[in-house]
A and B are shown apart, each in its own frame.
Chain A
């Protein structure tokens, strides 16, 4: 059956349709064209015509016109809408007119830049123009670097390399900085949170250096759909932006189906596993040779899904071989091969984490299945967007898990289709981040008295750094006074830059993958089952100092899942206030994460079949948190009941908060203390899951009552009897009765004091 026929048969399948909570059809959309502008170089037009492009989409034309007028732009378009031309055309047009002009292309990851550079080079080669495009990153050979500094018209790099490799050596890049006309920032929406806050500061440094050399570049940004592309791009670059969001590219009919797996245990509120349901759905399409991408929320889930799908396709080995996994931790070569296979149609199915949500070129597929709400509206649209042909129909199916957020979304489709997607929040003035980059900037060029960095004056910070003997104030300027090279100590991505490598010692020793430091205690502790390419490995030895995990191939019927114990300590309270019958606070905290034990969980049935301890050092993080404290004596609640209710309420709050913050659930975390050493009361903390914080706690502080009311609604609306994973959490974790106790706590907290 082809896709249309399959859809027709699905629509009449009652068992399937019972679980569908919503079926949205987005009608096909014709293209909106405009002519090439008169100022566009003839050669460029000819090359485009040869490629079969005879007119521009309206957003491409608008980008050209705005840039021509000297405006910074941010272009918001879905995948495969010709967004690269939005920046390649203005840049090439200018470089052809002025051979001295220079441009920097910034991509958030290396994989992305490779695709885009080959496309750019194709255009340049086809024109026979002498425009040199070079990639300058950690892999660029030292021997080639000199030529790139002098002759590269377009330098393709990433924020990390700009930060450590280019800006601190700006005097070697005089040509680039003196003639810099454009800075291209692709995938602006990726620059959120810590990474975005760092990058905003790197761009402040870039502009400071441009001012020194007398250049004033135009920024051309592209973004996926988020709530605030203009605001994010403006905060990131510190420049005013023109928003271009009228997409002129055509698209075929899109079916977006919301699918809620059936309840299997009403009492416990447990639904059929979203992974198993996603597997079944994917198989419907794969068995009909329809190209399908399946997104799973974690690396582990990817490997499980892949294993299950391959198992079921065993009968047709040809099909089984054309289904692959894709996630962070696979080596680049393997990833490139999978991307190419998808583009050329040799690979029929892929199971991926959100790694394939980015603009990596894998062509367009017919079906995307999303196993579990990805956590944000914009991610969901991105993942759904991987299915979408220009002319033919496509299908995206969102399969909900039992988590409260999933259940909320799947049962309130109008919220999803009507609400604006998430905000990209950044906080360039996060003190940790800001101070780090002020050091780097002072190293690059001394600060003048009264100079600003971003919008603010920074005299106080400079004076602090002088007192720390890192800077010296002399002659009205602040000079770098240390032997170290500050950029080397600062990673833009996270608090800890180092990765662990995974070494397969089944035969000889072979590196098969990488795991970031924060995930290492959870994924590659000793005895963990590490799954790669649906092959199971057991970790025999974890060398924490050397950052190596030695694994051996095994074939077992379980996987492992680690528990993380979190402790929190208040360092300083910034503000506090009393609400009805609770207190709210906001401030700085220290969070300590410790992997304590792991469980062995049986494949397919997901039963717990064993456990073991984990002995690894804790990871520490300074961040900002919002917390509420409630009275310890709530009528009718014993201490144990209070604890159980508190845990449940914390789970619900941490799960609903992302809806109001418009952030990813992984951006925040919750933790409780039955008697906080700081407030001396039962306390629920919700903290920013990033060192230094990115501003979520502050927002929560301002909406604390709304948050409690929303939590109450979620708990009351849940159909379970005594608490379930869709509201207060699984009873093994929160204890029985949690649902009831949590409601009591909320009722008490929201009752006004006069009455009590």
Chain B
């Protein structure tokens, strides 16, 4: 047996499952059949071949005018967004001067989802504004040997821009492209000072209300948009591999479409988020659990008034109510608004919302701020009783909590000059 036959036998499989159908590479250059095939591909994908010093690849260009709407939103609306709102979307005040005229939107389609140096970006979609027109350019490699040419074109295109906009690009697309440039021994042009990753922004705003913050879920829930003839991400690599073998471009069409939709939806998403942030309480673009998220965002950006307003709304909303009570009361405490904080904690005790937390906060306040030791003692005892109950009921490990509370209680007692009896607060019989 020669090596090849042996491999067939011992590695299992071996027979070419499609027999002679396998595409013969030689047809790509030269002969008539090849030319015909290549024209067919160009036509089907509505693309054109491009030559550069590193070779040839395909490029598909689409242009969307001033009035073009994606999911009912005018793309050029992006220029109406005030700078401070962009900073809020990015949760970073450095993005105050972010200029969408100088940003390139990027989304890649790849040969695998696992990452690592053997994953290629075979289709790279980019979008940018030219005046008020949005231009969407897709770079496509018809085979692996066109990768250097694709990267070369991408590089010369993105070098004009000062920032990148992506959806999950920080973790996925941009590092993957960095690897591609490195492996092709080219400088990485995507290492820009600003990178607005909309996945983080969307997650910050919508994670409480929406079960998923993937782009299709955002489209469906925020823009009431449904994609037609779209394809799910996990099918994409195998479709591309099939194309490499049979050169039939038609199954690729949905991938090109998917990629364009991804880029366009990024623009719409920004505008939608901006709407929500510009007028959170007056429009319907913020709803329900979003107010809790909004509260967090404002708090992180030190916009306390807005944060208090958002949390206050969230106090009424199921699902985030409990969290909102905690955050808001702590925010009041941080801002020294003790009366407001106390009111919330008392409310929490009454309504049984994170009661132990509220009791401990009350005990702390009475002990250290108002020096009302009796009230402090009462709150601490109550909290201790709860801890014991929790221990008995659920067998949960409440040891540390009990230890801390005992310490606190002992201290409060001694401040009142009361003697501390042995076992005076053991078991559940302390009240």
Partners in one complex: yes
- How many whole Å from B183's CB to the nearest CB in chain A? 7
| B388 interface residue (CB < 8 Å to A) | no
- How many whole Å from A249's CB to the nearest CB in chain B? 44
- How many whole Å from B238's CB to the nearest CB in chain A? 7
**Out of B25, B112, B114, B245, which one reaches A469, CB within 8 Å?**
B245
| B163 interface residue (CB < 8 Å to A) | no
How far apart sit A442 and B244, CA to CA, in the bound complex (Å)? Answer: 18
Residues of A within 8 A of B17 (CB): 469
| B48 interface residue (CB < 8 Å to A) | no
How far apart sit A717 and B3, CA to CA, in the bound complex (Å)? Answer: 46
**Out of A460, A463, A467, A477, which one reaches B145, CB within 8 Å?**
A477
| A480 interface residue (CB < 8 Å to B) | yes
Contact at A443–B118, with CB atoms within 8 Å? Answer: yes
How far apart sit A461 and B114, CA to CA, in the bound complex (Å)? Answer: 25
Contact at A481–B244, with CB atoms within 8 Å? Answer: yes
- How many whole Å from A461's CB to the nearest CB in chain B? 7
- How many whole Å from B85's CB to the nearest CB in chain A? 32
How far apart sit A588 and B117, CA to CA, in the bound complex (Å)? Answer: 35
Contact at A474–B143, with CB atoms within 8 Å? Answer: yes
**Stretch of A344-352, A388-396, A482-490, A557-565 at the chain-chain interface:** A482-490
Max chain A C-beta neighbours (<10 A), residue from B2, B4, B116, B143: B116
Instruction: Give the nearest-CB partner of A574 in chain B.
Output: B1
How far apart sit A486 and B113, CA to CA, in the bound complex (Å)? Answer: 13
Residues of B within 8 A of A473 (CB): 25
| B79 interface residue (CB < 8 Å to A) | no
**Stretch of B8-16, B299-307, B361-369 at the chain-chain interface:** B8-16
Contact at B7–A464, with CB atoms within 8 Å? Answer: yes
| B182 interface residue (CB < 8 Å to A) | yes
Q: A477-B144, A481-B241, A484-B112 are in contact. Are A468 and B14 (CB under 8 A)?
A: yes
| B278 interface residue (CB < 8 Å to A) | no
- How many whole Å from B356's CB to the nearest CB in chain A? 28
| A508 interface residue (CB < 8 Å to B) | no
Contact string against A for B residues 175-190, beta-carbon threshold 8 Å, 1 for contact and 0 otherwise: 0001100110000000
Contact at A168–B11, with CB atoms within 8 Å? Answer: no
| A533 interface residue (CB < 8 Å to B) | no
Instruction: Give the nearest-CB partner of A164 in chain B.
Output: B116
Contact at A443–B144, with CB atoms within 8 Å? Answer: no
| A313 interface residue (CB < 8 Å to B) | no
Residues of B within 8 A of A480 (CB): 111, 118
| B140 interface residue (CB < 8 Å to A) | no
| B6 interface residue (CB < 8 Å to A) | yes
How far apart sit A444 and B16, CA to CA, in the bound complex (Å)? Answer: 25
| A435 interface residue (CB < 8 Å to B) | yes
| A61 interface residue (CB < 8 Å to B) | no
How far apart sit A473 and B26, CA to CA, in the bound complex (Å)? Answer: 12
Q: A171-B183, A469-B245, A588-B10 are in contact. Are A461 and B117 (CB under 8 A)?
A: no
Contact at A468–B117, with CB atoms within 8 Å? Answer: no
How far apart sit A446 and B144, CA to CA, in the bound complex (Å)? Answer: 10
Residues of B within 8 A of A171 (CB): 117, 178-179, 182-183
How far apart sit A287 and B25, CA to CA, in the bound complex (Å)? Answer: 79
Q: Count of chain A residues with Cβ under 8 Å from any Cβ of B?
A: 38
- How many whole Å from B36's CB to the nearest CB in chain A? 20
Residues of A within 8 A of B182 (CB): 171, 174
Residues of A within 8 A of B111 (CB): 480-481, 483
Contact at B4–A572, with CB atoms within 8 Å? Answer: no
How far apart sit A168 and B119, CA to CA, in the bound complex (Å)? Answer: 10
- How many whole Å from B116's CB to the nearest CB in chain A? 4
Contact at B1–A572, with CB atoms within 8 Å? Answer: yes
Residues of B within 8 A of A431 (CB): 6-7, 10
Contact at A445–B183, with CB atoms within 8 Å? Answer: yes
Contact string against A for B residues 14-32, beta-carbon threshold 8 Å, 1 for contact and 0 otherwise: 1011000000010000000
| A317 interface residue (CB < 8 Å to B) | no
How far apart sit A572 and B245, CA to CA, in the bound complex (Å)? Answer: 33
Q: A171-B182, A446-B144, A472-B143 are in contact. Are A435 and B7 (CB under 8 A)?
A: yes
How far apart sit A622 and B6, CA to CA, in the bound complex (Å)? Answer: 13
- How many whole Å from A561's CB to the nearest CB in chain B? 35
CB-CB contacts below 8 Å: A160-206 with B: 168-171, 174
Q: A445-B183, A474-B143, A482-B112 are in contact. Are A467 and B117 (CB under 8 A)?
A: no
How far apart sit A168 and B114, CA to CA, in the bound complex (Å)? Answer: 11
Residues of A within 8 A of B16 (CB): 467
Contact at B13–A468, with CB atoms within 8 Å? Answer: yes
**Out of A442, A461, A469, which one reaches B118, CB within 8 Å?**
A442
**Out of B6, B117, B120, B144, which one reaches A445, CB within 8 Å?**
B117
How far apart sit A171 and B177, CA to CA, in the bound complex (Å)? Answer: 11
Q: Chain B interface: which size bin?
A: 35 or more
- How many whole Å from B231's CB to the nearest CB in chain A? 15
Residues of B within 8 A of A235 (CB): none
| B249 interface residue (CB < 8 Å to A) | no
| A479 interface residue (CB < 8 Å to B) | yes
Contact at B145–A572, with CB atoms within 8 Å? Answer: no
**Out of A446, A477, A572, which one reaches B9, CB within 8 Å?**
A572
CB-CB contacts below 8 Å: B133-191 with A: 143-145, 178-179, 182-183
How far apart sit A332 and B238, CA to CA, in the bound complex (Å)? Answer: 43
- How many whole Å from B178's CB to the nearest CB in chain A? 7
| A544 interface residue (CB < 8 Å to B) | no
How far apart sit A169 and B183, CA to CA, in the bound complex (Å)? Answer: 11
Contact string against A for B residues 91-117, beta-carbon threshold 8 Å, 1 for contact and 0 otherwise: 000000000000000000001111111
Residues of A within 8 A of B2 (CB): 460
**Out of B3, B10, B144, which one reaches A460, CB within 8 Å?**
B3
**Out of A174, A460, A468, A475, which one reaches B11, CB within 8 Å?**
A468
| A604 interface residue (CB < 8 Å to B) | no
| B237 interface residue (CB < 8 Å to A) | yes
Residues of B within 8 A of A432 (CB): 10-11
Contact at B14–A443, with CB atoms within 8 Å? Answer: no
Residues of A within 8 A of B114 (CB): 483-485
Contact at A168–B117, with CB atoms within 8 Å? Answer: yes
Contact at B4–A469, with CB atoms within 8 Å? Answer: no
- How many whole Å from A610's CB to the nearest CB in chain B? 42
Contact at A479–B144, with CB atoms within 8 Å? Answer: yes
Residues of B within 8 A of A442 (CB): 118
Contact at B1–A461, with CB atoms within 8 Å? Answer: no
Residues of B within 8 A of A468 (CB): 11, 13-14
Instruction: Give the nearest-CB partner of A213 in chain B.
Output: B182
Contact string against A for B residues 259-288, beta-carbon threshold 8 Å, 1 for contact and 0 otherwise: 000000000000000000000000000000
Contact at A170–B117, with CB atoms within 8 Å? Answer: yes
Instruction: Give the nearest-CB partner of A622 in chain B.
Output: B10
Max chain A C-beta neighbours (<10 A), residue from B118, B182, B244: B118
How far apart sit A467 and B118, CA to CA, in the bound complex (Å)? Answer: 18
Residues of B within 8 A of A486 (CB): 118
How far apart sit A468 and B16, CA to CA, in the bound complex (Å)? Answer: 7
How far apart sit A476 and B55, CA to CA, in the bound complex (Å)? Answer: 14
Q: A461-B3, A464-B4 are in contact. Are A168 and B118 (CB under 8 A)?
A: yes
Residues of A within 8 A of B179 (CB): 171
CB-CB contacts below 8 Å: B43-73 with A: none
Residues of B within 8 A of A435 (CB): 7, 11
Contact at B145–A485, with CB atoms within 8 Å? Answer: no
Q: A445-B183, A460-B3, A467-B16 are in contact. Are A472 and B117 (CB under 8 A)?
A: no
Residues of A within 8 A of B120 (CB): 479
Contact at B117–A463, with CB atoms within 8 Å? Answer: no
**Out of B1, B11, B113, B144, which one reaches A472, CB within 8 Å?**
B144
- How many whole Å from B154's CB to the nearest CB in chain A? 17
Which 9 pairs across A and B sit closest by C-beta, in order of nearness?
A475-B145, A443-B118, A480-B118, A479-B144, A171-B179, A474-B145, A485-B114, A474-B144, A483-B112
**CB-defined A-B contacts under 8 Å, sample of 23:** A168-B116, A169-B116, A171-B178, A174-B182, A435-B11, A461-B3, A463-B4, A464-B7, A464-B11, A467-B16, A469-B245, A472-B143, A475-B144, A477-B144, A481-B144, A483-B113, A483-B237, A485-B112, A485-B115, A485-B116, A572-B6, A572-B9, A588-B10
Other CB < 8 Å A-B pairs besides A461-B7, A464-B11, 6 of them? A171-B182, A431-B10, A463-B4, A467-B16, A480-B118, A485-B112
